[in-house]
Each structure stands twice: as structure tokens, then as C-alpha cells.
């Protein structure tokens, strides 16, 4: 694997890989924040990257190739990125003795804006998710996941072109806070005893305990961001996804607090579903419809009434579920990007995991990571480069270039559009070539 990676790295001139210790960037300057969500981006900018685990390094370097091509095509020599490696995950543990070393955290605090390739998260035990930890350290409270169909991608839908969603998933609360105890721990016993004694709630002695906090503050800041995005990008609908019929004081409160923001801060821009009767059942021109749906119903309606949904606002767990289902409508997690945004930083990442069985095989689809960098460029204001990435990926698919994960999903009829099945690096190089020569 190391020789394979070294060969890939050698093809990328403007990276600064970790070389035994952290050193100052050889060129460029950091992004600075002048206020909450207010960025100052230098033309020669330092952006961090975390290689990740499993297939993470392969997709990270593939995406950087495409990003470099887009920056060069959009800006010539006037703008440039220095990609600065920060160690997190298994590589950090081998070299620095920890999966999340303090020195790596300090470097990320300087850089503020970075790409994170997939990191390993054990199931049922072991260390805590580093993905969640990074989001919480930097208070990246909004996980934003666009899901859009590219013509040619395999889809189970009859009309996949109707899929054009942006999911805003609250990122710091809910069960993802990791406040839980094993059933046989002293802590779980104390919680069970407290519930019985003080609140008259009985829980079985063999039950593990988890706590699900959802706050007004956390809810309303992501609701504000989602509604602001909808207004600025002329979206049609913002749907609050919740399970408030059962979890009334967490997810039900999420619904109520989100509506408060819509009514109190965006009144001139929105119309509530309950108000449509006074407009003849139609959304007035220039207004955004704000409605809500119960989570389980929402998941099936994405399949049966796909085109009715646009921007989806959800608590952490619901947002995880709905974004994965939505990705399945347009080719799977291999084409699903995400970006975690806070008031003082951002982390671009693919939605998929580390896919360890494919490590070093040049097989996995890099599109999700490529599009994660498209999101990063869009959020730092480099929209021209972001547009080129989107167009480059779309054109690669429309010309018949696919990776193996997509080709294997296709029916015999769908395979007629396939010109060539490419590996991870070859697909990235094809997209970069299209950006440089065809756009």
C-alpha cells in the first residue's frame, strides 16, 4: 500500500505531507475568520487534509488531483492551494501514539478548513468515533449533505432526475453525543436507581442507558443556517424531519423550535403549510414553504413523492438515516459528499466509510470526496472552481466513464451507456482532464 500511495503523491506537486514533525507551511496563508461564519480567504491558501483509514488515502489524493485542476482552470496562477497533511486515525497512532494527538488538534485549530477522508469507527466497543469527536471539538454543528442525480447513474427510481436535495443534519447533539453506559456498569446502575427513586421510572436491570439531549440553542442555530441557505439559493421547500409524535420533548421540541425561527426571523420569506389555504393551496411566488414530516413517513415519501422535497432539516440521527437513503437513490454512498460547518471552521468529508476490503485495490469511487471538495470551495467562496468540479464529474458520467461500484449496480439496459469502467485514480484523472480540456 505504501508504494502505491507514494506513487500517487508524487503526481501532486502542491501537497505538504507529514515528515516526522509538524512544520510551518512552505507557502500560502491560513483562512481567518473575522466573525461567526465570516471568512477571509487568501489567494494562496493553506487547506488541511486528513488521509483517513482504509481506502481514505486513495480517495483523498484522487479528489485533490481534481480540485487542483479546477483551481488552475478557474484562476490560472492567481490562486493556489497548499494541501497540508494532518495526522488523525491509524496513521497518527502508529507515528504519534494516538489516533487524535493533541498536536494534530492544535494544527487543525490554526488551519480551520480541512478535508477529512473516512476514518475507522469500531462497532459495539473500542474507541469513540473520531468523526464525531472532530465535529464536537470544532463545534461543527451543521452537517450539510447535497444529494443530486447525475444523468447516467444507476437508480431504483423511475424518475431519478427529481432528486435534488440538501440535507441539514444537526451535528453535535442527540444520541451522537455518546452519553451512554453499558448495562452492567456502576454508572448505569446509578442512573437506573435515580430514575426509580426520584422519577418513579422503572427500567430493567439488564438495560444499557443512553441519553438523548436536544437543545433549543442547538436546534435554532442549524434551523437558522438551513433557512438562510434556502433563501439565498432560492430553494422551494424546507421540511423539518422529526419523530415528535413519540419523542415529544426532544424531537417534538426540535420541530417547534425550528418553526419559531422560521416565523420570527424569516417571516418575509416563508409560508407555513398550515397557511396555504388562504393562498388557494399554492405557495405564493417568491416564498419558501416550511413544513414538517414524521421521520418514518418521510423516509418512505422520499421514494414515493421524491420531487416534493428540497431542503431537509433534521436532528442528528434522523439526518444520518435520511442522507444515506437519499444517496441510495442516486448511485449510493460513493457519490455522496458532505461538509461540516460551524461559525469558526469547516470539515469536508465523504459520507461513506473506510471500505477496508478494497484498500489498495484502486477500486472505490472517489466522487463523494471530489464533491466534498466542491462543497469546500463553494463555502470558502471559490464558486468558479466548485462549478467546474460539478460539471467535470457530470460530464465524465454522461460520456460513459464509471467506477466499478456503479457499473455493478446497473441493469443490462443501463450498461449500454458505459464506455469504460475506471479505477479510483483513473476516474479522478479523467475528471481532471475534462476540466482542463473540455470545460
The burial class, CB within 10 Å (0-12 / 13-18 / 19+), for 411 is: exposed
122 annotated as ligand-binding: no
Inside any domain, residue 298: yes
Separation between Cα atoms, residue 141 and residue 340, nearest integer Å: 7
Phi, psi (5° rounding) for residue 170? -60, 140
354 annotated as ligand-binding: yes
CATH number, domain with residue 34: 3.40.718.10
**Which pLDDT belongs to residue 66?**
98
145 annotated as ligand-binding: yes
119, 190: one domain:
no
205, 260: one domain:
no
Cβ-contact 52, 118 below 8 angstroms: yes
Inside any domain, residue 150: no
Residue 119: CB atoms within 10 A of its CB come to 25
203, 234: one domain:
no
| DSSP bridge partners of 313 | 168, 240
Cβ-contact 238, 165 below 8 angstroms: no
Interacting residues of 294 by C-beta distance below 8 A, sequence separation 6+:
242, 243, 244, 245
129 annotated as ligand-binding: yes
172 annotated as ligand-binding: no
Residue 243 annotated to the active site: yes
Which candidate in 205, 216, 296, 419 is catalytic?
296
DSSP 3-state assignment of 337? strand
207, 223: one domain:
no
Cβ-contact 373, 63 below 8 angstroms: yes
Inside any domain, residue 43: yes
Per the structure, the complete domain to which residue 268 belongs is given by 156-173+215-329
Separation between Cα atoms, residue 81 and residue 79, nearest integer Å: 7
Sign of CA dihedral 131, 133, 137, 139: positive
**Which pLDDT belongs to residue 281?**
92
Separation between Cα atoms, residue 370 and residue 389, nearest integer Å: 8
Secondary structure of 266-322 as H, E, C letters: CCCCEEEHHHHHHHCCCCCCCCEEEEEEEHHHHHHHHHHCHHHCCEEEECHHHHHHH
Q: What is the pTM of this model?
A: 0.89
Separation between Cα atoms, residue 351 and residue 265, nearest integer Å: 31
Inside any domain, residue 22: yes
73 annotated as ligand-binding: no
Separation between Cα atoms, residue 419 and residue 293, nearest integer Å: 41
Total domain count, the chain? 3
As a whole number, the mean pLDDT across the chain is 93
Give the residue among 34, 84, 28 at the shortest CA–CA distance from 344.
34
358 annotated as ligand-binding: yes
Using the 3D structure, point to which of 302, 329, 356 is the last residue of a domain.
329
117, 259: one domain:
no
Interacting residues of 196 by C-beta distance below 8 A, sequence separation 6+:
202, 203
**pLDDT one-digit tens code per residue, 19-40:** 999 999 999 999 999 998 899 9
367, 239: one domain:
no
Inside any domain, residue 151: no
- Please list, residue by residue across 360-397, b when 16 or more beta carbons sit within 10 angstroms of its beta carbon and e when fewer do: eebbbbbbbbbbbbbbbbbbbebeebbbbbbbbbbbbb
Task: Kindly give the parts of the chain with pLDDT less than 50.
Answer: none
Separation between Cα atoms, residue 225 and residue 141, nearest integer Å: 10
68 annotated as ligand-binding: no
**Which pLDDT belongs to residue 127?**
57
Residue 27: CB atoms within 10 A of its CB come to 12
DSSP 3-state assignment of 255? helix
408 annotated as ligand-binding: yes
299, 164: one domain:
yes
Degrees to nearest 5, angle at CA 198 with 197 and 203: 60
| DSSP bridge partners of 138 | none
298, 396: one domain:
no
**Which pLDDT belongs to residue 53?**
95
Separation between Cα atoms, residue 95 and residue 116, nearest integer Å: 18
All three cell numbers of 355, joined, read 471500505
316 annotated as ligand-binding: no
**Which pLDDT belongs to residue 439?**
85
Residue 268 annotated to the active site: no
Residue 296 annotated to the active site: yes
164, 186: one domain:
no
Which candidate in 53, 174, 320, 340 is catalytic?
320
Using the 3D structure, point to which of 294, 309, 329 is the last residue of a domain.
329
4 annotated as ligand-binding: no
Using the 3D structure, point to which of 329, 359, 385 is the last residue of a domain.
329
**Which pLDDT belongs to residue 334?**
87
52, 26: one domain:
yes
Give the residue among 362, 349, 345, 347 at the shortest CA–CA distance from 427.
362
Which candidate in 243, 340, 397, 430 is catalytic?
243
Inside any domain, residue 222: yes
Residue 202 annotated to the active site: no
Cβ-contact 28, 81 below 8 angstroms: yes
103, 60: one domain:
yes
**Which pLDDT belongs to residue 128?**
65
Separation between Cα atoms, residue 405 and residue 333, nearest integer Å: 10
208, 266: one domain:
no
Separation between Cα atoms, residue 396 and residue 348, nearest integer Å: 22
Which candidate in 84, 176, 309, 401 is catalytic?
176
Sign of CA dihedral 289, 295, 297, 300: positive
Give the residue among 329, 352, 349, 331 at the shortest CA–CA distance from 340.
349
Q: How many CA atoms are closer than 13 Å to the CA of 303, on its beta-carbon side? A: 9
Amino acid at each position: 500500500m505504501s508504494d502505491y500511495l507514494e506513487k500517487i503523491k508524487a503526481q501532486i506537486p502542491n501537497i505538504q505531507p507529514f515528515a516526522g514533525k509538524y512544520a510551518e507551511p512552505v507557502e500560502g496563508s491560513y483562512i481567518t475568520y473575522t466573525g461567526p461564519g465570516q471568512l477571509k480567504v487568501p489567494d494562496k491558501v493553506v487547506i488541511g487534509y486528513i488521509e483517513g483509514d482504509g481506502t481514505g488515502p486513495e480517495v483523498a489524493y484522487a479528489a485533490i488531483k481534481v480540485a487542483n485542476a479546477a483551481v488552475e482552470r478557474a484562476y490560472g496562477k492567481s490562486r493556489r492551494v497548499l494541501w497540508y497533511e494532518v495526522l488523525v486515525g491509524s496513521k497518527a497512532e502508529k507515528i504519534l501514539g494516538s489516533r487524535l494527538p493533541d498536536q494534530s488538534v492544535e494544527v487543525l485549530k490554526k488551519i480551520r478548513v480541512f478535508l477529512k477522508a473516512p476514518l475507522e469507527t469500531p462497532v459495539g466497543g473500542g474507541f469513540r468515533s473520531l468523526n464525531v469527536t472532530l465535529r464536537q471539538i470544532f463545534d461543527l454543528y451543521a452537517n450539510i449533505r447535497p444529494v443530486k442525480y447525475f444523468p447516467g447513474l444507476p437508480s431504483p427510481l423511475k424518475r431519478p432526475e427529481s432528486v435534488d436535495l440538501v440535507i441539514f443534519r444537526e451535528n453535535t447533539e442527540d444520541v451522537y453525543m455518546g452519553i451512554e453506559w453499558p448495562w452492567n456498569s456502576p454508572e448505569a446502575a446509578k442512573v437506573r436507581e435515580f430514575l426509580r427513586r426520584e422519577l418513579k421510572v422503572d427500567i430493567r436491570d439488564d438495560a444499557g442507558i443512553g441519553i438523548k439531549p436536544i437543545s433549543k440553542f442547538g436546534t435554532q442555530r442549524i434551523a437558522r443556517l438551513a433557512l438562510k441557505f434556502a433563501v439565498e439559493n432560492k430553494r422551494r421547500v424546507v421540511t423539518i424531519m422529526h419523530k415528535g409524535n413519540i419523542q415529544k420533548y426532544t424531537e417534538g421540541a426540535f420541530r417547534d423550535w425550528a418553526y419559531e425561527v422560521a416565523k420570527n426571523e424569516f417571516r418575509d420569506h416563508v409560508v407555513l403549510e398550515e397557511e396555504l389555504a388562504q393562498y388557494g393551496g399554492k405557495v405564493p411566488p417568491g416564498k419558501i414553504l416550511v413544513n414538517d414530516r414524521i421521520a418514518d413517513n418521510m423516509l418512505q415519501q422520499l421514494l414515493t413523492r421524491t420531487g416534493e422535497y428540497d431542503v431537509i432539516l433534521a436532528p442528528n440521527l434522523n439526518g444520518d438515516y435520511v442522507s444515506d437513503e437519499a444517496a441510495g437513490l442516486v448511485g449510493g454512498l460513493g457519490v455522496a459528499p458532505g461538509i461540516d460547518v460551524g461559525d469558526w471552521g469547516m470539515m469536508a468529508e465523504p459520507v461513506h466509510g473506510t471500505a477496508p476490503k478494497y484498500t489498495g485495490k484502486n477500486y472505490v469511487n472517489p466522487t463523494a470526496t471530489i464533491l466534498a471538495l466542491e462543497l469546500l470551495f463553494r463555502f470558502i467562496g471559490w464558486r468558479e472552481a466548485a462549478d467546474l468540479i460539478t460539471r467535470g464529474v457530470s460530464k465524465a458520467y454522461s460520456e460513459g466513464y464509471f467506477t466499478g461500484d456503479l457499473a455493478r449496480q446497473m441493469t443490462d439496459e443501463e450498461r449500454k451507456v458505459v464506455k469504460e469502467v475506471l479505477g479510483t485514480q483513473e476516474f479522478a484523472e479523467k475528471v481532471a482532464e475534462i476540466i482542463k480540456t473540455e470545460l
